[in-house]
Amino acid sequence: MLFNSLSFLIFFPVVTILFFLVQHRYRWALLLAASCFFYMSFRPVYILILAVMITVDYFSAIAIENSGSHRRKKIFLIGSIVVNVGMLAFFKYYDFLNNFISALLPLGKGAPLLPVFSFLLPIGLSFHTFQSMSYTLEVYGGNQKAERHFGIFSLYVMFYPQLVAGPIERPGHLLPQFRIEHKFDYVKVSRGLRRMLWGLFKKMVIADRLAVYVDPVFDQPHLYGGFPVVWAGLFYTFQIYCDFSGYCDIAIGAAGVMGFELTENFRSPFFSKSVSEFWKRWHISLTSWLFDYVYKPVSFLKRGWGKWGAVYAVMITFSLCGLWHGARWTFVAWGLLNGAALAVEIIFRRNKRKVETKQPSKFRDIPFILLTFAFVSLVFIVARASTIPEALFMLKSIPELSTEKIIGLPIITRFAFELNFIFIFLLMSAEWFFLNEETKIKNAFVTSTSFRYAVNILLLLLILFFGVFEQQAFIYFQF
């Protein structure tokens, strides 16, 4: 059931109304049942994977908490991690690893060493695995009490708004919210609905429209070069942002209507002045997860290396970040490129500060913002390409800047093509106004009801007139 589907248009109000009608003590059961239904609407059998994961982590956490010795705690933690990572590895990385190892071995001339299983990746597996793992890790670290209510713990892993594509929640943030009684709150409900509308606009009006121009180029990159590659890279950057942040807006809004507060996953990442800042604003819940559970321990282990310890830790973290996104070398390369950019920032941090202070303060951010955006867009081409040679081919063809190869893209009308730039401009302007602390438009939005109505009506009309109604799955579902 996609957030942009007719089924969700019925599912959401029904669940929300029932949520407010049902007594607080039964709400967990209602939400859990709704979440199971939501997940099973994609592929019912894969709920068994979730069931195994939930059961293992539920009992592991209790065992960790009850264990007297540190050694026993560690054994239970490792057991839980092995099951979680094992399932993720089996369903997501088995074929990738099988092919990789087979290619390295001289036997069999690259034929797969082990039997090939072409599983359909369980939707959102990486998200709920990380969410569930963070629970046992926090219990192990003593920062979180083990949840004794099996139903509430299951709901923590399965809460439907963020089940299939995050944000990846931490137990300390989400679990207590299931214990609190959420009363109907006009402000929260209207804010949540507005957030959902904004997410739908991003997905249906921007992301899915851009897909029309992005997909043909990435499907057959050898046929394009120059401007189409530039457009495809540029459009893909906005497409993936609007697709994923649009999903998160709907998730945060849907949870917000019921009074739950989910973690913000994006903070206007395209206004970042450096790659490190970009990663503090892009997919925040994943970055902070990796920072806490990978970067920090690795850099602590290598603290004797000084600056190079941080470089080592960042490279390990971002290779994992790339691999988390998918079992493909292009994702690994994308992660490594981002890691390399961050490593450069770490190495030259002091020098960069000197440069910044020499710039006039008002305009100094603009070149850094543009440079960061250019880098991010270029490396997204690597992530989106099917293979490394295709990515290299596309990157090499950019300097051609030929317009000859544009023809063939499904440009139905020039107006339809140009509209994309208008919507991107609208998006960036909206983000700019809300990024700054004090702007007239932001103040008007907060204080004026009629202005908010006007914005809501405008968004609804834009979706009606320009939204893509042929349902397209969210890109991050595949991760």
Partner 1 sequence: MKKIIIEISALLIFIIAVFMLLEFLFRDYKNGVDRVMDDFFKSRDQAEVLMVGNSHALPFYNALKHEEGSGVAFLTIGGDDLFWMQALVRKQLHSMPAVRYVILNCDDELLGFNQSLSGLSFMNRMLYQYTDEMYANKEMDILLSKSNFFRSNRDIGYLFSKQSNANIVMANAGGKGTFTDEECKVRAKEISEKRFQTKLFSENLTYVVSIINEVKRCNKILFVLKLPKCDCLSAAVNQENLADSRRLLDSVFMATKTEMLDFSGDHTFTRDAFANPDHLTPQVAKKLMVKMNDRIFDSVGDRPIHLQ
| Active site members | 325
* Rounded Cα–Cα distance for residues 340 and 317 (Å): 11
* Rounded Cα–Cα distance for residues 68 and 301 (Å): 26
With contacts defined by CB under 8 A, name the span among 174-182, 216-224, 283-291, 314-322 that binds partner 1.
216-224
Is residue 226 involved in binding partner 1 (CB under 8 A)? no
Q: How far is the CB of 81 from partner 1 (least distance, A)?
A: 39
Q: Which of 239, 265, 251, 243 is nearest to 196 (CA)?
A: 251
Q: How far is the CB of 11 from partner 1 (least distance, A)?
A: 12
* Binding residues with partner 1: total (CB under 8 A): 30
Q: What angle do CA 135, 136, 137 make, to 5 degrees?
A: 90
Is residue 190 involved in binding partner 1 (CB under 8 A)? yes
Is residue 216 involved in binding partner 1 (CB under 8 A)? yes
Is residue 412 involved in binding partner 1 (CB under 8 A)? yes
Residues 312-371 within binding reach of partner 1 (CB under 8 A) = none
* Rounded Cα–Cα distance for residues 33 and 160 (Å): 10
Decide if 179 contacts 147 (C-beta within 8 A).
Answer: no
- Write the binding mask 426 to 455 for partner 1: x where contact by CB under 8 A, - elsewhere: ---------------------------x--
Contact pick of 52, 219, 421, 458 for partner 1 (by CB under 8 A)? 219
Is residue 458 involved in binding partner 1 (CB under 8 A)? no
Cβ proximity to partner 1: between 436 and 448 the closer is 448
Helix 150-158 to helix 171-179 angle (10° resolution) is 120
Q: How far is the CB of 405 from partner 1 (least distance, A)?
A: 9
CB-count exposure of residue 217 (10 Å: 0-12, 13-18, 19+) = buried
Cβ proximity to partner 1: between 20 and 373 the closer is 20
Contact pick of 5, 143, 387, 439 for partner 1 (by CB under 8 A)? 5
Residues 104-143 within binding reach of partner 1 (CB under 8 A) = none
CB neighbour burial string for 350-362, b if at least 16 within 10 angstroms, e if fewer: eeeeeeeeeeeee
Query: For 291, which DSSP code?
Result: I
Helix H, strand E, coil C: the string for 430-457 is HHHHHHCCCCHHHHHHHHCHHHHHHHHH
Cβ proximity to partner 1: between 221 and 326 the closer is 221
Cβ proximity to partner 1: between 10 and 52 the closer is 10
Is residue 418 involved in binding partner 1 (CB under 8 A)? no
Q: Which two tokens stand for residue 421?
A: 């730039």
Query: Residue 368: how many CB atoms within 10 A of its CB?
Result: 17
Residues that bind partner 1 (CB under 8 A): 5-7, 20, 184, 186, 189-190, 193, 212, 216, 219-220, 223, 407-410, 412, 453, 456-457, 460-461, 464-466, 469-471
